[in-house]
Amino acid sequence: MAIQAHFKPRPSDILLLTSPKSGTTWLKALSFATLHRHSFSLSDHPFLTNTPHQCVPFLERFFSHRTIPNLNVLPSPTIFATHLPFSLLPQRALRCRIVFLWRDPKDTFVSLCHFLDRWMGSSAEHTSTTQGLDLSKAFQMFSQGTSAFGPFWDHVLGYWTESLRSPEMVLFFRYEEMIEDAVSHLRRLAQFMGCPFSMEEERDGVVDDIVQLCSFDNLREVEVNKDNKGSFEEKRPPASSFFRKGKVGDWVNYLSMEMAEKLDAITKEKLHGSGLTFESSSVVP
């Protein structure tokens, strides 16, 4: 409600939109590093001492206090991020550019279970047969649409429809395609944010440098991202919980075939007629 009443982005601002566990951390890193590439060198980069979530905080955090923040004092453009579904996003937010990222719901779900399990203090790795989060119950809820920020498929379809209506204002990415070709996605992202890479930057390897800087393997090894402190009570997940495997198709290690087929069937049914096609992710070595 606070976001709806008081979030007034400027047209220059960028809004990153994701369902939880769709690759938000990566998108935050790529967009921040790209937008601010002229301000920092790789050897003295904010990512050496700050997590991507500290560099690009969630809107939900800005508005979680009693006092309403004055976001106009922030530099222009500022990158914001949120998990809000389209139906709850204030109309005003559509005046700024939106980057939407989605991921195979099977991997999203598995990632979410691990994250919650970890954050709530259970073991980092679990299967449906070990203790920790009840995977089959969580699966039932997820497939019925009981998720934080609303049903997964409504989330995707809300922004997909808006991207068809206003392609110049909504950039639509999928995690698996970014993993396959991060470089060309980064070029599109930079163009969309209004800071395309110049010929000199291309020649000097700046695009590859940013992809490398923001890669899972690189960020996971940075000390600040290895931090295990955090608590559920304080609503502060450990930084390390945002970096688990970063793989496509990891669902195969946790979901039964029946579960996978069920989620695929729901996805196909929900997306039917929308123009958005879905191919199940399979393991990338």
Ligand X SMILES: Nc1ncnc2c1ncn2[C@@H]1O[C@H](COP(=O)(O)OS(=O)(=O)O)[C@@H](OP(=O)(O)O)[C@H]1O
96 near ligand X (CB under 6 A): no
Beta-strand runs (E) in the chain: 14-18, 79-82, 97-102, 170-174
Which CB atom, from 215 or from 280, has the smaller least distance to ligand X? 215
Rounded to the nearest 10 degrees, the angle between the axes of helix 257-271 and helix 105-119 is 120
Q: Shortest gap between Cβ of 70 and ligand X (angstroms)?
A: 25
CA dihedral of 217, 207, 95, 46, whole degrees rounded to 10: 50
Q: Which of 37, 97, 244, 270 binds ligand X (CB under 6 A)?
A: 244
Which CB atom, from 114 or from 270, has the smaller least distance to ligand X? 114
114 near ligand X (CB under 6 A): yes
Q: Return the bridge partners of 172, or none.
A: 100
**Given CA atoms 174, 191, 52, 205 in this order, what sign does their dihedral have?**
positive
Query: What does R_g of the chain's alpha carbons equal in angstroms?
Result: 19
Which CB atom, from 208 or from 269, has the smaller least distance to ligand X? 208
Which one of 23-31, 125-133, 146-154, 264-272 is the stretch in contact with ligand X (CB under 6 A)?
23-31
Which one of 18-26, 59-67, 88-96, 184-192 is the stretch in contact with ligand X (CB under 6 A)?
18-26
H/E stretch holding 206 reads helix 206-213
Which CB atom, from 158 or from 246, has the smaller least distance to ligand X? 246
Site for ligand X in 202-231 (CB under 6 A): 214-216, 219
243 near ligand X (CB under 6 A): yes
Q: Shortest gap between Cβ of 218 and ligand X (angstroms)?
A: 8
251 near ligand X (CB under 6 A): no
Q: Write out the DSSP string of 105-141.
A: HHHHHHHHHHHHHHHTTS-SS--TTSSSS-HHHHHHH
Question: What secondary structure, in 3-state letters, does 154-187 show?
Answer: HHHHHHHHHHHHCCCCEEEEEHHHHHHCHHHHHH
Q: Which of 20, 46, 90, 145 binds ligand X (CB under 6 A)?
A: 20
254 near ligand X (CB under 6 A): no
83 is catalytic: yes
Q: Which of 9, 23, 85, 249 binds ligand X (CB under 6 A)?
A: 23
Q: Which of 13, 107, 117, 162 binds ligand X (CB under 6 A)?
A: 107
Which CB atom, from 125 or from 269, has the smaller least distance to ligand X? 125
- Residue reference for tokens 């899972």: 216
Q: Which of 16, 17, 26, 118 binds ligand X (CB under 6 A)?
A: 26
Site for ligand X in 27-86 (CB under 6 A): 29
**Maximum C-alpha span of the chain:** 54
Q: Which amino acid is at 11?
A: P
Catalytic entry in 83, 114, 155, 185: 83
- Phi, psi (rounded to 5 degrees) for 137: -70, -45
162 near ligand X (CB under 6 A): no
- Residue 234 has what DSSP assignment? T
| Residues classed as catalytic | 83
For binding to ligand X (CB under 6 A), which residues are involved? 18, 20-26, 29, 107, 111, 114, 214-216, 219, 242-246, 250
